[in-house]
A = this chain, B = another copy of it.
Amino acid sequence: MAIDESKKLSSSDLTRLLRQTITSGEFSPQDRLPSERVLSERFGTARGTVRSALAKLEREGVVETRPGSGTYVVGEERMVTNQVVANASPLELIDARFALEPHSCRLAVLNARSADFEKLEALMDEMEQASDNPAKFSELDTRFHALLAEITGNSLLIWIVAQINSVRNQEQWKLMRHLTLNEDMIHAYNRQHREIVAAIKQREPERAAQLMKNHLESARLSLTRSAAT
């Protein structure tokens, strides 16, 4: 496992790191983790810090510690959660959004309430005021798509979109958006967002889904164009 030596680890950071290490498959269920002293050396922290992190994981039910013996991984085997998401390519991400978001729009049509539209309008207003600020627009755009998922009320979809958004917040992706997001692009996106919300408001599921497809197609095009140059 690669550890960023330059970053200091706090207890909560170490908890997350250990959980990731376990769920990423480095340690299988019933496996014994390295001893606390080894872990403390490996992560560059004191043994007490490792202990508090392991205690938290034990409260979560991820591991089980047996005095004199060791700390063992409990529970079912999980897929490579974070690594998959972190290593996804831009085109894979777009394809995944192509799968998810048009149908999210259909479901949003069935569930949207007036309060939801108020949130959407406020968000779109803010996005239009951020036309000259790609970084700000990008954050608001992420929030916009997360909000659409929330409106569906489907916890699975909300969670999946949140996972996908966690990719978009990574440095590598912020850099890429910087290359593809010019002011014209932002105006186009704003227009498309308005159209999508209008279709949802008018309770036209198929039209909303089609508009979302068009929106994502725009994003895919600007991505492939920037990759070609």
- Report A's interface with B, CB cutoff 8 A: 1, 3, 10, 12, 17, 20-21, 23-26, 31-32, 60, 76, 78-82, 84-85, 87-88, 92-93, 95-96, 98-100, 102-104, 107, 132-133, 136, 139-140, 142-143, 146, 152, 154-160, 162-166, 169, 183
- Which B residues are CB-close (under 8 A) to A183? 3
Q: Distance (Å) between the CB of A110 and the closest chain B CB?
A: 10
Bound CA–CA A183/B158 (angstroms): 35
The reply to whether B107 and A156 form a contact with Cβ atoms under 8 Å apart is: no
Contacts A85-B159, A132-B3, A139-B24 given; does A103 touch B92 at CB 8 Å: no
Bound CA–CA A183/B81 (angstroms): 36
The reply to whether B96 and A157 form a contact with Cβ atoms under 8 Å apart is: yes
19 interchain pairs (CB within 8 A)? Answer: A12-B31, A20-B139, A20-B143, A23-B143, A24-B143, A24-B146, A24-B165, A24-B169, A25-B166, A60-B80, A78-B81, A79-B159, A79-B162, A88-B155, A92-B155, A96-B156, A96-B157, A96-B160, A98-B103
